[in-house]
Structure 1
Amino acid sequence: MARPDLNLLVTLDVLLDEGNVTRAGERLSLSPSAMSRALARLRRATGDPLLVRAGRGLVPTPRALELRDRVRELVRGAEEVLSPARPSEPATMTRTFVLRGGDGFVEAFGPGLVAEVGRVAPGVRLRFLRRSTKDFEPLRDDVDLEIAVVEDVPPPDVVGRPLFTDRFVGVVREEHPLACPVTVEGYASARHVHASRRGSVDGLVDFALRPTGHRRAVVTVVDGFTAALALARASDLVATVPERHTAPARAGMRTFPLPFPAPEVTVSLLWHARVDVDPAHRWLRELVADACS
C-alpha cells in the first residue's frame, strides 16, 4: 500500500480554512493550476469532493466539515514537532538532573546551587555523584553534567566549556609548628599527605617544586582532597589542595600560599551532545556556571 503524501494535509488545512482555491493557492505560493491539481489529489485520496460549487463560491461537504478540526490539529502538531523546543519555564519544570563532580565539588558549590534551584525551580531535583573515574561513558548514559579537570582531549560527542581556574595552596592545622611565612625549605622539610585517586606519591605539586631543588616527604597517600584535609586537621601533616574546591573543608585551618610557583588547573563543565540544545539543560548549565563563578 502506497504511503499517503503528508504534504497534502497542509494543503487541505489551508483549503478548508479559506474555502477558496485561489486564496488558498496564494497562501501556499502555488499557481491556480498547481492548486487545482492538489485539490484533485486530495479528492482521490479522501474519496470525497471536499469542496463543491454553490453559485459563485465553494462550500465544504459534510466529510470536509468532519475533517477540518482534525486536520488543523494534525498540522499544528506537526509544526510543533518540527520546531525548536520552547524555552522551559523553571518555575513549572519537573525534572531530575544528575551531576558528577570531583572531590570537594558538592561541599564548595552544592549549597549555593541547591539554594538557587530551590528558589527558581522547586520541581527540579539534583542528584550528585562522585567522579571516581576519568572516563566519559557516564555522560553518554545518565549523567547530565560533569565538573572536572580535563586531562585528555574529550571525544567528539562530549561538549565542554571552562568554568574557572583553581590554584593549589598549602593547609595545616592552626597550631602547626610550620613557621610563617612558609619558605621553600620549611615546606619541603615538613611531612606531607598527598591526594591521588591512583595512589601515586607525586603529582603537579611535586613537578612545580622540583625546579627549586627540593623534594617534599610524602608519608601518606589518600584518594581525595577532603580526606587529605581531615588528616592534616588532626595531625602535623601538610595538605596541598586546590583553593576554591576546598574552601568549606578548610574552615578553621591555616591556609598559606605555596613558596614557589603554584600549579593551576582549569575546571571544566562537560555534557553530551545529545542534550546540547535542550533548553532545560542549557538553563542548568548556566546555573552551574553562575554558582561556580
Structure 2
Amino acid sequence: MNQMNIGGIDLNLLKVFEALHDESSASRAALRLGVTQSAISAALRRLRDVYADPLFVRTGRGLAPTLRANQLKPVITDALNKCRQSLAMVDPSRNDFEGRSVTIGLSDDFEIAFGRRLMLQVAVSAPKLRLIFRQTHSQVVAHALMGRTIDLAITSGGLADRLLSRRVLGEGGYLCLADPASLRDGQSELTLEEFVEREQILVSSGGFIGIVDEGLAARELTRKVRASTTHFAALPYLLKGTDAISTIPSHAAEAVAQLAGLALLPCPLPMPRYPVELGWRTSALIDPAVIQVREAIETLFKQQT
C-alpha cells in the first residue's frame, strides 16, 4: 500500500464515512449530507483506496461495515467531533449543533421512563442536536463508553473504570404491574401469598433468575414464572388479558402503567433500593454537545425529586 499523507486527502470523505456507518445505506447517507447518491458512491470508492479495505459490503439489509470500518468508526467520529468543538469555540453562546448527535446508553426501562422528557429538554437547550438511544446494561456499559459507541450512560452500576466519571442521579425501587381486570374491585395491594400464587412475567437479560427470586429464596419461597422477556416494552402485550404480574423498577412501572392502562401495586416482598447513575468518559467533558445533554439529564432527574 502506498504511504498516505493527510495533505492529499479530502477530509470531507470522513463525513461520508461517518454517515455511511451510521445509516447503513448510501441513499440515506446522501439524504443526511444533502448530496447525490452518486457522490456518496464516488466518495466510498475513494475511501476504499485510502484505507485499502472494502469498508462496507452490501447485504440484504443494506451496507454492513467491515471489521476495519468498525475499528475506524470511533477514531473518525472523535476527530470530526473535535473539529465541531473547535467551531463551537468561536461562539459558544450559539448552541449550534447542526449535524451533531450524542449517543446515550441505557436499558429500555430508563428509555421508557425518561426518553421522551429528555428529548423535550434537549429540544429547548440545543434544538439542532440529535439524541441516539442505544441499549446497554450494567454489565456492558463501561466497555461501551470506553469503546466510544456511546457518549453518556444512564445505568444502575457498572461504571467502576478509572477513566470514567459518574454522578449519582438518585435511587429507585420496585413496583408490580397487573391487568386491572385481574384484580378484585378496589384491590390496591397483594399479600405475599397472592404474590407467590400468581403467574409472573420475568424481565431479565438471562431469562431464568431475577432479583425477586433471590428475595423469595431467602424466605424459602418460589414463584411461578410463565414467561421471560429481555424488554420492558413488551410487558403491556404480555400482561393484558392475563392474571400474571410483573415486578420491575418503579420508574419504568409508572410509565408503562400510565401509557398501557395497567394497575400499579406495591411489591409485598421487601426489595432493595438501587442507585441510578450517569456516566461518561472523563475526557468527553470538554465536548459542548455532551455537556448540554449531561446537564439536561441532571436537570430532568432533579425534577423527579
Output the TM-score relative to the length of structure 1. 0.64
Distance 1:93 1:195 in 2: 37
Deviation at 1:93, TM superposition (A): 3.3
Distance 1:290 1:174 in 2: 34
Say if 1:137 and 1:191 are closer, same or farther in 2 by CA, change over 3 A: same
Q: Match for residue 268 of structure 1?
A: 277
Q: Match for residue 256 of structure 2?
A: 249
Say if 1:269 and 1:216 are closer, same or farther in 2 by CA, change over 3 A: same
Kept in 1: contact 2:110–2:251 (CA 8 A): no
Residue 187, structure 1, aligned to residue 195, structure 2: yes
Corresponding letter in the other structure for 1:273: T
Q: 2:119 aligns with which of 114, 124, 127?
A: 114
Question: 1:1-293 maps to which residues of 2 (within 5 A)?
Answer: 88-89=92-93, 91-94=95-98, 95-131=100-136, 134-135=139-140, 136-140=142-146, 141-150=148-157, 152=158, 154-177=160-183, 180-200=188-208, 202-251=209-258, 252-293=261-302
Distance 2:164 2:152 in 1: 10
Deviation at 1:281, TM superposition (A): 2.1
Q: Match for residue 48 of structure 1?
A: none
| Higher normalized helix content (fraction of residues) | 2
5+ long unaligned stretches in structure 2: 1-88
5+ long unaligned stretches in structure 1: 1-84
Say if 1:266 and 1:86 are closer, same or farther in 2 by CA, change over 3 A: farther
Say if 1:87 and 1:224 are closer, same or farther in 2 by CA, change over 3 A: farther
SS at match of 1:126: strand
Distance 1:164 1:276 in 2: 21
SS at match of 2:251: coil
Q: Identity of counterpart residues, as a percentage? A: 23
Kept in 2: contact 1:88–1:280 (CA 8 A): no
Q: Match for residue 10 of structure 1?
A: none
Corresponding letter in the other structure for 2:230: D
SS at match of 1:244: helix
Q: Match for residue 12 of structure 1?
A: none
Q: Which protein has the larger Cα radius of gyration, Structure 1 or Structure 2?
A: 1
Deviation at 1:287, TM superposition (A): 0.7
SS at match of 1:287: helix
